[in-house]
Amino acid sequence: MTLRLDGRVAVVTGAGAGLGREHALLLARQGAKIVVNDLGGSTDGRGGDSAAADKVVAEIKAAGGDAAPNYDSVTSPDGAKNIVDTALEAFGRIDILVNNAGILRDKSFAKVEMDDFKAVFDVHYWGSVYCTKAAWGPMTEQKYGRVIFTTSVAGTAGNFGQANYGSAKAAVLGLMNVLAIEGRKNNIYANAISPGALTRMTSGLGMDESFMEKLNPAFVSPAVAWLASERCEVTGGIFTAAGGGFGRLHYFETFGVQFDTSAPITVEMFDDAFPKINDFSTAVPAPAGTEGRMQERFDSLKR
Ligand code: NAI
């Protein structure tokens, strides 16, 4: 099991800037051939320019790596197919997909327009669906794949003004959970990173700039390169990565209660049991593909 990526082909979406660029540069240094996808638009997803992808391709080549550009938007099935076809045509396969492309249209829920909601879902959620769907066939055929999704603390914990972005980032985790189950038998692993970094997306958001400068996007990419390697045997994981710190995030469930179902269950019973239902000192992780404590309660009902 190696951390090297020689012979592997990786597609990184939104790799013309920020985190995606760093992921692409590191994956290339690890030996992978890279498709640098980027439509080169603005942070809010408007416009387009091939220069962003071209520049990163040139950087990879200058460092002795191999890369091909793609300028399609991830927001349509055809665009996603072109992105994956770029890998197949240039390098003959696709082993790694990093769903990284992203935009922001922040506004409080009271003020957000539905067009801004949909635009954010189109890139983060549907872009991840379309690109992964396009890569799934080749990965299934070759019985190998590493898919890395990009979520956010806005999706795992919420953030003011980001109802569109936070819910799209949470939806990406729902997709990952299912693909972790469906992909396992074909050696396709699906994981997510929840990054933090100073990029054009986060500069100008009113965060403390002197602190944000410590969050070099290059500090995030080692997690991506590890998840992209054969060495990674985790699937369905969410890994936090920011400022040189790394962790793993998971759903937990409290021990809770199981009432006798031969009698009616009342709201007062729920109220009485609430301290136990809410007691996180008894919580355990709910492993991917199981119902965790709920499964144990189901089992007790079957007995
Ligand atoms: P960025 O704005 O620097 O880079 C995003 C790239 O995606 C840009 O080059 C852009 O042109 C490209 N892109 C946007 N829409 C696209 C589309 N439809 N098709 C192809 N490419 C497209 O932003 P950053 O910070 O590097 O973000 C990368 C990912 O990390 C995003 O998914 C973002 O939501 C996520 N993220 C970033 C955090 C941070 O602290 N920077 C925190 C949490 C998540």
Percent of residues, the chain, with pLDDT higher than 90: 88
| Residue 131, pLDDT score | 99
Q: Which long-range contacts (CB under 8 A, 24 or more apart) does 118-121 make?
A: 119/44, 119/45, 119/164, 120/45, 120/164, 120/165, 120/168, 121/164, 121/167, 121/168, 121/171
Q: What is the largest CA-CA distance in the chain?
A: 73
Is 251 among the residues known to form the active site?
no
Q: What residue type is assigned to position 147 of the chain?
A: V
| Residue 28, pLDDT score | 98
| Residue 166, pLDDT score | 98
Q: Is the pLDDT confidence value at 290 over 70?
A: no
Q: CB of 40 within 8 A of CB of 269?
A: no
Phi/psi for 256 (5° steps) reads 70, -155
Q: Is the pLDDT confidence value at 9 over 70?
A: yes
Ligand 1 within 6 A of 99 CB? no
Ligand 1 within 6 A of 37 CB? yes
Q: Is the pLDDT confidence value at 150 over 90?
A: yes
Model confidence pLDDT, tens digit, residues 100-121: 999 999 999 999 999 999 999 9
Q: CB of 168 within 8 A of CB of 149?
A: no
33, containing H or E segment: strand 33-37
Label residue 205 by pLDDT band (50, 70, 90). Answer: confident
ipTM score above 0.90:
yes
| Residue 209, pLDDT score | 80
Ligand 1 within 6 A of 200 CB? yes
With tokens 């040139």, the residue in question is 58
Look at residues 196, 124, 130, 205 and name the one whose alpha carbon lies nearest to residue 167.
124
Model confidence pLDDT, tens digit, residues 213-272: 889 999 999 999 999 999 999 999 999 999 999 999 998 999 999 999 999 999 999 999
Q: CB of 179 within 8 A of CB of 129?
A: no
Q: CB of 27 within 8 A of CB of 5?
A: yes
| Residue 288, pLDDT score | 62
Average pLDDT for the chain: 95
| Residue 244, pLDDT score | 97
Catalytic residue among 71, 130, 144, 165: 165
Look at residues 200, 168, 213 and name the one whose alpha carbon lies nearest to residue 52.
200
Q: CB of 139 within 8 A of CB of 181?
A: no
Q: Per DSSP, what are the bridge partners of residue 242?
A: 196, 245
Q: Is the pLDDT confidence value at 289 over 90?
A: no
d(CA 83, CA 35): 8
d(CA 58, CA 68): 9
Ligand 1 centroid from CA 221, angstroms = 14
Ligand 1 within 6 A of 156 CB? no
Ligand 1 within 6 A of 135 CB? no
Model confidence pLDDT, tens digit, residues 47-104: 999 999 999 999 999 999 999 999 999 999 999 999 999 999 999 999 999 999 999 9
Label residue 291 by pLDDT band (50, 70, 90). Answer: low
* Angle, CA of 163, 285 and 258, to the nearest 5°: 100
Other Cβ atoms closer than 10 A to 221: 28
Ligand 1 centroid from CA 214, angstroms = 19
Ligand 1 centroid from CA 89, angstroms = 25
pTM surpassing 0.90? yes
* 3-class SS of residue 42: coil
Q: What residue type is assigned to position 115 of the chain?
A: D
How far from the centroid of its chain's Cα atoms is residue 251's Cα?
Answer: 16
Task: Name which residue sits closest to atom 29 of ligand 1, judged by CA.
Answer: 100
Ligand 1 centroid from CA 197, angstroms = 11
Handedness of CA 106, 109, 111, 117 (dihedral sign): positive
